[in-house]
């Protein structure tokens, strides 16, 4: 019964497919040629050939891509951010770099906090990409590279300061996060200005 049911679904799917519809249209054209006296005695071959040609040229069926919404993406990003914070809580960093990092994490946390701010963030794919890249790659890479370089620096001192590089990297990420925040703020400011202009225009035309 399961095999019969599966075969029935497959047959029904083919009947509704683009290949069958295109082949049927071409087959009908073959019947029209037959009625017009063009196909002659070979009309079955003409109809079958046209059906096959139509089925071959029809575009293949494609599955509909699953809808990945921005809220789902931010949900995954929040989980990654929580793991990043847990990782950083176990790391010892110099005081100055630690202060910059804390400010940076506060910015990310404010942007990812569920609510209307996150909805504004979700509406800007570039901003989401920037935050995701920083959380998943840039921040952990900066901290890990600092600890690795610091270990080697103990064996061969005198090179560039690992602390200086870490602070510079985190400072650049903080500047990027501030730019993202400023851009999102600008979006809301333009929205407010647009609404003000609309109300003024509506009031003037009343």
pLDDT tens digits, 144-188: 999 999 887 777 776 678 899 999 999 999 999 999 999 999 999
Q: What is the pTM of this model?
A: 0.64
Same domain, 128 and 176: yes
Contacts of residue 139, Cβ cutoff 8 Å, sequence gap at least 6: 84, 88, 101, 104, 170, 173
Per-residue model confidence (pLDDT) at position 41: 65
CB 110 within 8 A of CB 55: no
Same domain, 93 and 14: no
**Distance from C-alpha of 128 to C-alpha of 192, rounded to nearest angstrom:** 22
The phi-psi region of residue 124 (left if phi > 0; otherwise alpha if psi is between -120 and 50; otherwise beta) is beta
**Distance from C-alpha of 105 to C-alpha of 101, rounded to nearest angstrom:** 6
Contacts of residue 24, Cβ cutoff 8 Å, sequence gap at least 6: 51, 54
CA proximity to 180, closest of 100, 125, 103, 115: 125
Q: Once rounded to an integer, what is the mean pLDDT over residues 36-56? A: 65
Same domain, 180 and 101: yes
Structure tokens at 50: 């046209």
Same domain, 94 and 124: yes
Per the domain annotation, does 65 fall within a domain?
A: no
**Distance from C-alpha of 66 to C-alpha of 73, rounded to nearest angstrom:** 13
**Distance from C-alpha of 20 to C-alpha of 24, rounded to nearest angstrom:** 6
Same domain, 37 and 122: no
Per the domain annotation, does 161 fall within a domain?
A: yes
**Distance from C-alpha of 139 to C-alpha of 169, rounded to nearest angstrom:** 9
Domain containing 19: what range? 2-57
For residue 114, the 8-state DSSP code is T
Per-residue model confidence (pLDDT) at position 152: 79
Selected residue with higher pLDDT from 24 and 173: 173
Q: Once rounded to an integer, what is the mean pLDDT over residues 101-127? A: 93
Per-residue model confidence (pLDDT) at position 202: 87
Q: Which of 61-70, 78-87, 133-142, 165-174 has the lowest mean pLDDT?
A: 61-70
From the CB of residue 97, how many other CB atoms can be counted at a distance below 10 Å? 22
Per-residue model confidence (pLDDT) at position 150: 87
Using a pLDDT cut of 70, give the percent of the chain over it.
Answer: 65
Using a pLDDT cut of 90, give the percent of the chain over it.
Answer: 50
Per-residue model confidence (pLDDT) at position 1: 44
CB 170 within 8 A of CB 142: yes
Same domain, 36 and 112: no
Is 193 a residue whose pLDDT tops 60?
A: yes
For residue 137, the 8-state DSSP code is I
Is 122 a residue whose pLDDT tops 70?
A: yes
Per-residue model confidence (pLDDT) at position 160: 74
Per the domain annotation, does 93 fall within a domain?
A: yes
Per the domain annotation, does 165 fall within a domain?
A: yes
Average pLDDT, the chain: 81
Same domain, 114 and 193: yes
Same domain, 90 and 158: yes
Is 16 a residue whose pLDDT tops 60?
A: no
Same domain, 46 and 125: no
Per the domain annotation, does 126 fall within a domain?
A: yes
Same domain, 90 and 123: yes
- For residue 201, which phi and psi values (nearest 5 degrees)? -65, -40
Per-residue model confidence (pLDDT) at position 78: 94
Per-residue model confidence (pLDDT) at position 37: 63
Domain count within the chain: 2
């Amino acid at each position: 019964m399961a095999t019969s049911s599966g075969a029935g679904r497959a047959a029904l799917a083919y009947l509704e497919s683009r290949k069958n519809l295109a082949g049927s249209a071409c087959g009908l054209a073959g019947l029209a040629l037959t009625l017009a006296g063009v196909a002659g005695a070979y009309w079955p071959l003409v109809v079958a050939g046209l059906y096959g040609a139509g089925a071959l040229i029809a575009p293949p069926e494609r599955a509909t891509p699953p809808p990945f919404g921005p809220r789902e993406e931010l949900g995954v990003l929040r989980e990654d951010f929580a793991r990043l914070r847990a990782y950083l809580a176990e790391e010892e960093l110099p005081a100055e770099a630690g202060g910059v990092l804390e400010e940076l994490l506060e910015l990310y946390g404010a942007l990812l906090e569920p609510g209307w701010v996150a909805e504004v963030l979700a509406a800007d794919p570039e901003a989401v990409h920037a935050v995701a890249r920083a959380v998943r790659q840039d921040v952990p890479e900066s901290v890990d590279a600092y600890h690795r370089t610091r270990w080697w620096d103990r064996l061969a001192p005198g090179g560039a300061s690992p602390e200086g590089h870490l602070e510079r990297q985190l400072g650049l990420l903080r500047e990027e996060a501030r730019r993202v925040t400023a851009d999102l703020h600008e979006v809301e400011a333009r929205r407010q200005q647009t609404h003000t202009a609309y109300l003024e225009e509506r009031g003037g035309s009343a």
